[in-house]
Amino acid sequence: MLEAKLPETDFMRIHRSFIVNLNCVNTVDRYRVVFGKEYLPVSDQYKDKFQKFLNENFL
């Protein structure tokens, strides 16, 4: 599985359809990740993990 081969410090699943490179995130708008003009949703299943990441790294 591709996800298992990616470093957890750089990549995170935010939705069943999306794994994001955390180094490329421009902005977080509520529970959407912004890459330029693209908005990717953070699904309910991954919100807690994603919020924890934000709290530990940006607050």
* Domain ranges across the chain: 2-58
List own/partner pairs for 29-33 with CB under 8 A and 24 or more apart.
none
Vertex 21, ends 47 and 34: CA angle to 5°?
65
pLDDT, position 13: 96
Q: Which of 17, 6, 13, 5 is nearest to 53 (CA)?
A: 13
Report the C-alpha gap between 39 and 33 in whole angstroms. 6
pLDDT digits (tens, 9 = 90+) for 11-57: 999 999 999 999 988 899 888 999 888 899 999 999 999 999 989 98
pLDDT, position 57: 85
Amino acid at position 40, single letter: L
pLDDT, position 59: 66
pLDDT, position 48: 94
pLDDT, position 29: 84
With a cut of 90, say whether residue 6 has pLDDT above it: yes
